[in-house]
Structure 1
């Protein structure tokens, strides 16, 4: 009876085979670079869903691909390399890269990933905690902060632009003040907390407010897997006016009269403290009678970028309807056979005599005088250029030419139908 009871107690609490998460590996102190001879502590925290265990759960430690002999929950190390841990039945943890330096000056960065909105702390440390004077911090080769003596450089709310390569420099008194010394460069990456939101129209089945006659919009985004428990708030805007301020709900119902106005909406996602805020592109709602197709509601990227909401007031207008005149090459021109039409755009038989003139024919009639004038100007310019070339090559022939009046067009082949040009007086 007792063995059976023990087996029942070993069943997971949910009654099903539970999927264990990765154990969490931490470093104390939290710096990935240390001086030679120093020791740090690694701690492995795993998840154990069993109600009762007959023996303690062992922990496996890895240095690269080498299995370490210790099975304790925490270990002290001083060897550089990539460390991982694993608890019984769980996947391997995320790695921690430990570096060991023999330099006079090192730049220490935290082992844990830094996300948007979180503080980023950098520490410039002298050999075995010697005081560093005339301390400079550099970001991608540019000096960003100066301290008279040892101090940490802190970015209160990190952003993606704070990613890059950092370095520090300073002097130490050993025993007299040394020349400026530089640390090795260290790469820092600020992780994205959540993606920029996308505003979309929900379908009739998934929309809660569709039965009320409105259109339901949803502000969609995705959190980083390590920050999936971070709560986000959402706000919705119509042009520059907030139609719903920050709230926990990611959906908003647009009243039916406003849908018919074809006015633009966009949304904003933010953390509860507003340390990270991101805006979506504009959404152009479909017109009356158009199907609510989510794939066709997001405005094109260039237009969305041009109207991206900013910090200063904007003047909002609906997109203008294009009224541009058709290209001249698509208009049939009977004044000259020199103009060639593309094979795909060759003129076809015209409409019946009783048919009203089309907009294309009206625009062609308006363009015809301009085309004729352009051809006359081009022919006149051609004659003038020919006389200049002839004068440069054969001055005697030009004098004979002046003695016999002749129009410039007599020296050139003019296609039938080309308007005649007037003689040019020299």
Structure 2
């Protein structure tokens, strides 16, 4: 009879244990480093079976892999190590690493995880609570705060940039003022509360009657598992102008007339107190005829950037002009109209309607003024060289030009044109 009653009472516990969460282990006072000889209290809070169970409520305690003899909800400890607890049928709790120091100065940091937007408090403590003077706090070997005497270092709203290795230094009167002393370095990590949001296109909504349809945008983010109950608010922006201020809704519908404007949108997620705010990347809406018209209202766009027709990204920037000069085997003497182009297309041929210029056409258009100038300079140089050759053959035929040629031979053509070299007679 006893075994049957025990079985009936144990079955609900087994079914409930499948969905139990791990218990929460806390430390009092909330510092992970203590002086040698001090004691702290550990408390295990989690699921406990009903009082009708035949066995008494029990809690298991672990120091490393060693099972401690106590079964109470709270225990006092002074031994360094990694502590965990477990209630009946539940998983093992997250660990707490307790350090014991024999130094004159210790830096005490919180045992619990610090999330973005929460206060971060550190305490530089002297042996037997002696007052610490000329107190400095350091983050990654850089001083961040100075106090005349013992005081806590507090960051009201922690950020990811506050993570690092911290240390403190100061002097104590034992009995006279000592030289500066340094604590051991302690690692501090500020956990991300939620990820940076991403703005996605969810689909089109057709209007009914006088109501206008539009494109539905959703601002998506993910909270840390330990903070999944934290409420978040969302705001939406069109370029730099807010189109919907902070609200609890994660979606916003762009009216149909504004969809064709091809404007960029972005969203912002924040806590209710605005202690943590994060914005999404830019999103450009697709124009009419895009794949979005054929997508369902639940099919998200595969990328944050909108897609133009033919699956090419939209761009409003002028395409860059190539500065590379193609190899030229021959240059006509008279004009640049003789440049050869693929498929017989000349430099003045009009491109097809709605067809963007090819890279070769862009290069030819950019180089045309330079080629014309080069050809003119070559013609002048050819005429000048012809006169020089004739003068060398018949010096008496051009007596009036000899002085001019000698003067011209000592000057170079300006930058960007070929230089003229004098030919000595």
TM bucket, shorter chain? 0.7 to 0.9
Counterparts of 2:28 and 2:6, CA distance in 1: 38
Aligned to 1:392: none
Per-residue deviation, residues 86-105 of structure 1 (Å, max 9, x unmatched) = 11211111110100000111
User: What residue is the counterpart of 1:171 in the other structure?
Assistant: 171
> Is 1:38 aligned to residue 38 of structure 2?
yes
Quote the Cα distance in structure 2 between the aligned partners of 1:56 and 1:216. Answer: 56
Q: In structure 2, do the counterparts of structure 1 residues 3 and 351 end up closer, same or farther at CA, with 3 Å as the change threshold?
A: same
User: What is the aligned partner in structure 2 of residue 424 from structure 1?
Assistant: 422
Offset of residue 74 of structure 1:
1.2
In terms of mean alpha carbon deviation, does 136-145 or 241-250 score higher?
136-145
Task: Return closer, same or farther for 1:371/1:255 CA change in 2, 3 Å cut-off.
Answer: same
* Residues 1:158 and 2:154 are matched in the alignment: no
Quickly say closer, same or farther: Cα 1:357–1:182, change in 2 above 3 A: closer
The answer to whether 1:298 aligns with 2:305 is yes
Report the CA distance shift for 1:262/1:86 in structure 2 as closer, same or farther (over 3 A).
same
Alignment partner of 2:91: what SS? coil
What per-residue deviation string (whole Å, max 9, x for no partner) do you get for residues 127-183 of structure 1?
111111222212222222222221111111111111111111112122222222111
- Would the alpha carbon gap of residues 65 and 423 (structure 1) be closer, same or farther in structure 2, given more than 3 Å must change? same
Instruction: Map Cα deviations across residues 176-209 of structure 1 (whole Å, 9 max, x no partner).
Output: 22222111111111111111111111146xx899
Secondary structure in 1 aligned to 2:291?
coil
Matched, 1:95 2:95: yes
CA distance in structure 2 between the partners assigned to 1:193 and 1:138 by the alignment: 25
User: Which residue in 2 is equivalent to 1:216?
Assistant: 216
What's the CA shift for 1:374? 5.4
Instruction: Say whether the 8 Å CA contact 1:11–1:50 is kept in structure 2.
Output: no
Counterpart in the other structure of 2:198: 198
- Residue in 1 that maps onto 2:47: 47
> Residue 316 of structure 2 corresponds to which residue in structure 1?
320
- Counterpart residue number, 1:116: 116
Measured in 2, the distance between the counterparts of 1:362 and 1:106 equals 72
Q: How far 1:123 sits from its partner (Å)?
A: 0.6
Matched, 1:28 2:23: no
Residue 335 of structure 1 pairs with residue 333 of structure 2: no
Q: Which moved more, 1:6-15 or 1:221-230?
A: 6-15
- Supply the distance in 1 between the matched residues of 2:31 and 2:138 (Cα, whole angstroms): 18
- Compute the displacement of 1:9 (Å): 5.4
Q: What is the deviation of 1:113?
A: 0.8
**Preserved CA contact (<8 Å) 2:281 2:304:** no
Cα shift at 1:48: 3.7
Q: Is the CA contact 1:169–1:182 (under 8 Å) kept in the aligned structure 2?
A: yes
Shift of 1:36: 0.4
Q: 1:76 to 1:199 in 2, by over 3 A?
A: same
Gaps of at least 5 residues in structure 1 are 301-317, 338-345, 381-419
SS in structure 2 at match of 1:294: coil
Match in the other structure for 1:58: 58
Residues 377 and 89 (structure 1 numbering): CA distance in 2 closer, same or farther, change over 3 Å?
A: farther
Query: Does the 8 Å CA contact 2:14/2:89 hold for their aligned counterparts?
Result: no
Query: Residues 114, 377 of structure 1: CA spacing in aligned structure 2 closer, same or farther, 3 A cutoff?
Result: farther
Q: Distance in 1 between matches of 2:111 and 2:206?
A: 44
Deviations 1:233-292 (A, max 9, x none): 101111111111111111111111111101111111110111111111111010111122
Q: Normalised by the size of structure 1, how large is the TM-score?
A: 0.73
TM-score w.r.t. the length of structure 2 is: 0.74
Aligned residues: 360
CA distance in 1, matches of 2:207, 2:19: 37
- What residue ranges of structure 2 are gaps of 5+ in the alignment? 293-299, 308-313, 333-339, 381-417
1:310-332 deviation per Cα after TM superposition (whole angstroms, max 9, x unaligned): xxxxxxxx9634244456556x8
Aligned Cα root-mean-square deviation (Å): 3.8
Distance 1:194 1:263 in 2: 27
Q: Secondary structure at the match of 2:89?
A: coil
Cα drift, residue 78 of structure 1 = 0.6
Alignment check: 8 A CA contact 2:107 2:168 kept: yes
**Whole-angstrom CA distance in 1 between matches of 2:71 and 2:37:** 23
- What is the CA deviation profile of residues 355-383 of structure 1, one whole-angstrom value per residue up to 9, with x for unaligned ones? 966655865377356347559989x9xxx
Alpha-carbon distance in structure 1 between the residues aligned to 2:273 and 2:133: 37
Residues 41 and 76 in structure 2, CA contact (< 8 A), matched pair in contact too: yes
Residue 261 of structure 1 corresponds to 261
Residue 199 of structure 1 contacts residue 298 of structure 1 at CA under 8 Å; is this kept in 2?
no
Structure 1 partner of 2:67: 67
